[in-house]
Amino acid sequence: MKYIIVGLGNFGSSLGMALTRQGHEVIAIDSSMQKVEAYKEVISYHLYGCHG
As a whole number, the mean pLDDT across the chain is: 89
Q: pLDDT > 90: what percent of the chain? A: 54
Q: Where are the beta strands (DSSP E) in the chain?
A: 2-6, 25-30, 45-48
Per-residue pLDDT, averaged over 26-43, amounts to 89
pLDDT value at position 48?
80
* Domain range summary for the chain, segments of one domain joined by +: 2-48
CB 23 within 8 A of CB 38: no
CB 33 within 8 A of CB 27: no
pLDDT value at position 50?
66
The whole-angstrom distance between residue 46's C-alpha and the CA centroid of its chain comes to 6
What is the pLDDT confidence band of residue 51, given thresholds at 50, 70 and 90? Answer: low
pTM recorded for the entire structure: 0.81
CB 9 within 8 A of CB 16: no
Measured CA to CA, the distance from residue 48 to residue 24 in angstroms comes to 20
